[in-house]
């Protein structure tokens, strides 16, 4: 199972402690393709598209509007 995480160091948490999951483009349990844009996070007027690291079933960990930081695992993709 592959983790879907916010890239480490994407923003300076000393200046902006938190971002949010702005959108999920698939519902929990969906089949996703490797490289598909599955979510979008937003922090400090910046949006960042999150892609699936591998094909498989999506398991959402942080829902829409949930708080995130660099390194937060927002979902897992089960390639089985």
Nearer to another protein, 45 or 80 (CB): 45
* Site string (34-73) toward another protein, x via CB under 8 A: -x-x--x-xxxxxxxx-x----------------------
Place of tokens 């498989």: 56
Non-local CB neighbours of 73 within 8 Å, separated by 6+ positions? 3, 4, 5, 61, 62
**Chosen residue from 23, 30, 54, 69 binding another protein by CB under 8 A:** 23
The three-point CA angle 20-63-8 to 5° equals 50
Place of tokens 């199972």: 1
Write out the residues near another protein by the rule CB under 8 A: 9-12, 15-16, 22-23, 35, 37, 40, 42-49, 51
């Amino acid at each position: 199972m592959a983790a879907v995480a916010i890239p480490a160091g994407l923003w300076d948490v000393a200046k902006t402690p938190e971002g949010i999951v702005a959108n999920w483009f698939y519902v929990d349990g969906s089949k996703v393709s490797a490289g598909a844009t599955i979510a979008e996070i937003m922090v400090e007027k910046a949006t960042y598209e999150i892609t699936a690291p591998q094909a498989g079933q999506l398991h959402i960990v942080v829902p829409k509007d949930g708080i995130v930081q660099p390194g937060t695992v927002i979902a897992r993709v089960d390639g089985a």
